[in-house]
Amino acid sequence: ETGVTQSPTHLIKTRGQQVTLRCSSQSGHNTVSWYQQALGQGPQFIFQYYREEENGRGNFPPRFSGLQFPNYSSELNVNALELDDSALYLCASSFDLDTQYFGPGTRLTVL
Amino acid sequence: AQKVTQAQTEISVVEKEDVTLDCVYETRDTTYYLFWYKQPPSGELVFLIRRNSFDEQNEISGRYSWNFQKSTSSFNFTITASQVVDSAVYFCALSEVGVGSQGGSEKLVFGKGMKLTVNP
């Protein structure tokens, strides 16, 4: 059974640029959630995708957007990057509303 | 709104000591789930336990045990005979179930985490 995978591992961008992060869900899972974890903090919920539609969103601006594909993999897109967007971005997959299992994360640095 | 408080930010113990990590939560929901996750230096959140709000039985898994007390809104985690490999940041989390465009939606609300260092 393959776990949750994310790519890339690390990424460096400059302010104003756009970034796309990718997540492959665990085998048998149909729901993907994205979280942002700033240094020294707990993860904060960005949004959740189910049946290829956004199905719940946290307090993040519209420049954070996502996609879910028919194979349940997902992308997180962030436009107009700001310095405060520097964080570890975690993807979690689950079957419906069951336990969320997390990937290794993508560390984004915005200069 | 849902809230999870982990009052301890950092604990350092010597190997073989027992250590308890505290978690207090706030919710208006009658049905909810509580979780503990472990985050080693590699960054990945590792699932440890999920507990339904209707199940207040304590649980033991090897050296790990959990004490859920609804009356005090606490879900504490104890590591018995700690080992160096237990060194990590531990997060307590609470589920918040809402209604999304595709039906039920669940997000996790995390505490700020507690860094445990186990020294040899």
DSSP state of A59: S
Question: Over 90: is that where the pLDDT of B115 sits?
Answer: yes
Q: Please name the amino acid found at residue B24.
A: V
- So what's the pLDDT on residue B101? 64
- So what's the pLDDT on residue B65? 95
Copy the structure tokens of residue B87: 């060194």
Cβ separation of B43 and A101 shorter than 8 Å?
Answer: no
| pLDDT confidence tier of residue B112, bands split at 50, 70 and 90 | very high
Residues of B in contact with A90 (CB under 8 A): 45
- So what's the pLDDT on residue B97? 77
Place of tokens 């595709």: B102
Residue A3 · residue A92 · CB < 8 Å? no
Average pLDDT over residues B45-49: 95
Nearest-neighbour CA in chain A from B81: distance (Å): 26
Q: Please name the amino acid found at residue B117.
A: T
Place of tokens 């465009």: B101
| pLDDT confidence tier of residue B31, bands split at 50, 70 and 90 | confident
Residue A22 · residue A4 · CB < 8 Å? no
Query: Chain A 13-42, CB below 8 Å of chain B: which residues?
Result: 33, 35, 40-42
- So what's the pLDDT on residue A31? 94
Average pLDDT over residues B44-73: 92
Question: Over 70: is that where the pLDDT of A96 sits?
Answer: yes
- So what's the pLDDT on residue B99? 67
B59-102 pLDDT tens trace? 889 999 999 999 999 999 999 999 999 999 999 999 987 766 66
Mean pLDDT value across chain A: 95
Q: How far apart, in whole angstroms, are the C-alpha atoms of residue B73 and residue B65?
A: 17
Residue A4 · residue A89 · CB < 8 Å? no
Q: Does A7 touch chain B (CB under 8 A)?
A: no
Residue A60 · residue A36 · CB < 8 Å? yes
| pLDDT confidence tier of residue B57, bands split at 50, 70 and 90 | confident
Residue B94 burial by Cβ neighbours in a 10 Å radius (0-12, 13-18, 19+): buried
A8-57 pLDDT tens trace? 999 999 999 999 999 999 998 999 999 999 999 999 999 999 988 998 89
How crowded is residue A75: how many other Cβ atoms within 10 Å of its Cβ?
17
Q: How far apart, in whole angstroms, are the C-alpha atoms of residue B33 and residue B29?
A: 10
Residues of A in contact with B107 (CB under 8 A): 33, 45, 48, 56, 58
Give the dihedral of Cα atoms B54, B59, B65, B67; nearest 10 deg: 30
Residues of A in contact with B31 (CB under 8 A): none
| pLDDT confidence tier of residue B12, bands split at 50, 70 and 90 | very high
Cβ separation of A55 and B103 shorter than 8 Å?
Answer: yes
Cβ separation of A35 and B108 shorter than 8 Å?
Answer: yes
- So what's the pLDDT on residue B30? 86
Average pLDDT over residues A75-83: 98
